[in-house]
Amino acid sequence: MLETRNSRWCSAPVTRLSTRPIARLIAWLTIWLAIAGIFAPVTHANHGPASWAASHQSVVVVNPTWPGYSSPGFGAPAGTAPAGSGVYYADHQAETGYVLTAAHVVRRATHIEIVNAAGARATAVIHAVDDRRDIAVLVTNLTGPAIQLGNDNLPIGSHVCAIGNSFGLGNSISCGVVSARNRQNIGFNDIEDFIQTDAAINPGGSGGALIDSDGRLVGLINGIFTKDADIDAGVNFAISLSLIADSLAQMRESGVLFTETK
């Protein structure tokens, strides 16, 4: 026979806390957080259309014609893209006919053509070359807006963008951050002071502009670090603005004249 027995739980008296105030508090917190989320500033990368608009007209396509060929796009030395990029540059002029580029883009060229943002084409000639830093200055009658100058002493992690003629497709923009500063002894040039960036850079971008979020020049695109393929691997280098200034100062000391277009 199964014995059944009525039983009761025996316990000490318990003081029960009402859940209504807690529920009310949670409800108010939920509403407050929702309102804060609506009105809080949205965090975005501080580069984009404004960076492009402020600078792209100062960047040109550079088309060198190599020895033995009658038109650009053929015969570039091994490891050199058949086209490159350049930047309208001046110290104190709004409009200029001087174009900065990487020396390896034009060093052996028999003829140089530039193409501006509007698609206009003109001949350019080498005005000065600094082979040790891989910087060349071109001069052309097709003047353009001198790019605004920034500060290359950017904190690590600062947003930057690269504008250049990647793969000869025409100028485009890619953005990233400053990965490192003052990179030296990489092996590209005799004298180096690079800004390292993960902004995508590919063949044809050499001589293009590395800009800050306001579209101001902070470096001249120079090389990509890769082992097996000639494509961007996220370790890319631009000559610092400080080293560009040193190069131009040395050119002036050696007698190179920069007569700005009025």
Catalytic machinery residues: 104, 134, 206
CB-based contacts of 232: which residues, under 8 Å, 6+ apart? 200, 201, 202, 224, 226
Structure tokens at 78: 């091994």
The CA distances from residue 150 to 103, 156, 215, 242, in Å, are: 22, 15, 8, 11
DSSP track, 100-159:
EEEHHHHTT-SEEEEE-TT--EEEEEEEEEETTTTEEEEEEEEEEEPPPB--S-PPTT-E
Among residues 103, 88, 106, the alpha carbon closest in space to that of 134 is found at 103
CB-based contacts of 14: which residues, under 8 Å, 6+ apart? none
Q: Can you say whether the dihedral through the CA atoms of 109, 65, 217, 147 is positive or negative?
A: positive
DSSP track, 155-212:
PTT-EEEEEE-GGGS--EEEEEEEEEEEE---SSSSS--EEEE-S---TT-TT-EEEE
Structure tokens at 250: 């040395």
